[in-house]
Amino acid sequence: MPERSPRVGEGQPERLGQHAPGQGVAQRDGERPADRAMQVTRQFEALAACRSRSPRHIRHHAAAHKRGKSVLVIDRRNHIAGNLYCESKDDINIHVYGAHIFHTSLKHVWDYVNQFAEFNHYVNSPVANYKGEMYNLPFNMNTFSKMWNIRTPKEAQDIITKQQAAISGEPKNLEEQAISLVGTDIYEKLIKGYTEKQWGRKCTELPAFIIKRLPVRYTYDNNYFNDRFQGIPMGGYTKMIERMLEGIEVRLGVDFLKHRNEYESLADKIIYTGPIDEYFGYSEGILEYRGLRFETERLEEENHQGVAVVNYTEGEIPYTRIIEHKHFEFGTQPVTYVTKEYPKDWEIGEEAYYPVNDVKNLDLYAKYVKKAEMISNVIFGGRLGEYKYYDMDKVITSALALCNKEFQE
């Protein structure tokens, strides 16, 4: 259960024929008024995954703008910041599209984002609620002590090793893979129901390769991430993105594909971050995604659950987690806002959040990659353009690498 996770563990497999990431930027040199770098973007990033869903195109066009390029950002939504978008209510920054915690071990990425915001010292330490039993995440000695009434790492290792033996041979599905990694108790209480809600399928029907590892720590450490740097931008992500966009033209509420000829004529280079299959008119077929639905309510209490994120891991509860937003910034307001997050089936026309990375969809994506390689002035990037889960720091790393490539630095 990662940053924004339908994935349980490491996330998605490596992608075939990846393009340099970015989100729809077109750019031209010179002083002519019509010259502009156009960034065509849906700003869907965001997750889950943790989450991370950060609008990669912004990183590219901010860097392009610094280099004297003219940039135009187009967004189908009526606001900036993509899935990072925050609304302020009662002085609480609400993560509208689910929790986003920035974390990285890359110093140059951390330095980059700190140009645009000051980050607080928030540490992601979610807990899991299984039928009223509360467990710390990621799986660590606090988890094991509560589950088995033990104290030492050796006791925990012995129990997990014994339970792992329930699976012999190569795991045939996600259930067997999870048990082979963490044993039956952790799987039944903390993985099974959560994962089946996220994917809309039984774990026995999901491929084993969805999870390559699960975080297991034999220490009393509730910090979900191992990264050197971690935090939330003070004042929310929207303000951070506003600073990135200073001096750049932005057009909101515009669907690039509906005005394709107009915008393609403006730009020498386009970074497109909408769904790659939609760009090609679904000519090879429709790629599958999982959707999300959010229910946010204001509560007349100061502290509802005592932590920013609680995962609900039993299958009978329809939502996967409750987010209490004030805890991301250590709020002391007399009221609070909480969001329930419901996974759902996705249909064309709805927001797409998580790629369904099974063999069928990866084979279909590979066909679109071949089509994309035939277009020299369009870079397909982001979660939808590359059909790939991205954490926020990986988005920025990719965008900065793209800039270096495009500007031959």
pLDDT digits (tens, 9 = 90+) for 1-41: 434 433 333 333 222 222 233 334 444 433 332 333 334 33
The answer to whether 397 touches 15, Cβ cutoff 8 Å, is no
Predicted pLDDT at 54: 39
Active-site position among 45, 386, 391, 406: 391
Active-site position among 4, 7, 217, 383: 217
The answer to whether 135 touches 193, Cβ cutoff 8 Å, is no
Q: Which residue has the higher pLDDT, 377 or 69?
A: 377
**Burial of residue 325 (number of CB atoms within 10 Å: 0-12, 13-18, 19+):** buried
Q: Which of 397, 307, 391, 300 is nearest to 50 (CA)?
A: 391
Active-site position among 389, 390, 393, 406: 389
Average pLDDT, the chain: 86
Active-site position among 36, 42, 53, 321: 321
The yes-or-no answer on residue 97 being catalytic is: no
Average pLDDT (127-156) is 98
pTM for the complete prediction? 0.85
CA distances from 337 to 5, 237, 327 (A): 21, 17, 10
Predicted pLDDT at 191: 98
Q: State yes or no: pLDDT of 305 exceeds 90.
A: yes
Q: Can you tell me the distance from the alpha carbon of 81 to that of 366, in angstroms, rounded to the nearest whole number?
A: 29
Q: What is the pLDDT of residues 34-63, one digit of tens each?
A: 333 334 333 322 222 222 333 445 556 666
The yes-or-no answer on residue 217 being catalytic is: yes
Q: What is the pLDDT of residues 327-382, one digit of tens each?
A: 999 999 999 999 999 999 999 999 999 999 888 999 999 999 999 999 999 999 98
* Lowest-pLDDT choice from 42-51, 177-186, 343-352, 383-392: 42-51
- What share of the chain in percent tops pLDDT 70? 83
Active-site position among 4, 51, 290, 383: 290
Predicted pLDDT at 63: 63
The yes-or-no answer on residue 389 being catalytic is: yes
Q: To which CATH superfamily is domain 36-122+227-286+356-406 assigned? A: NAD(P)-binding Rossmann-like Domain (3.40.50.720)
Q: Which residue has the higher pLDDT, 266 or 44?
A: 266
The yes-or-no answer on residue 213 being catalytic is: yes
Q: What is the pLDDT of residues 214-252, one digit of tens each?
A: 989 999 999 999 999 999 999 999 999 999 999 999 999
Average pLDDT (61-77) is 79
* Lowest-pLDDT choice from 46-60, 98-112, 379-393: 46-60
Predicted pLDDT at 406: 86
Each domain of the chain, given as residue ranges in start order, spans 36-122+227-286+356-406, 127-210
The yes-or-no answer on residue 391 being catalytic is: yes
What residue has token string 């645009």?
116
Active-site position among 213, 228, 243, 298: 213
- What share of the chain in percent tops pLDDT 90? 77
Active-site position among 75, 341, 386, 406: 341
The answer to whether 164 touches 180, Cβ cutoff 8 Å, is yes
3-state secondary structure the chain: CCCCCCCCCCCCCCCCCCCCCCCCCCCCCCCCCCCEEEEEECCCCCCEEEECCCCHHHHHHHHHHHCCCCEEEEECCCCCCHHHCEEEECCEEEECCCCCCEEECCHHHHHHHCCCCCECCCCCCCEEEECCEEEECCECHHHHHHHHCCCCHHHHHHHHHHHHCCCCCCCCCHHHHHHHHHCHHHHHHHHHHHHHHHHCCCHHHCCHHHCCCCCECCCCCCCCCCCCEEECECCCHHHHHHHHCCCCEEEECCCHHHHHHHHHCCEEEEEECCCHHHHCCCCCCCCCEEEEEEEEEEECCCCCCCCCEEEECCCCCCCCEEEEHHHHHCCCCCCEEEEEEEEEECCCCCCCCEECCCHHHHHHHHHHHHHHCCCCCEEECHHHHCCCCCCHHHHHHHHHHHHHHHCCC
β-bridge pairing 378-380 and 354-355: unpaired
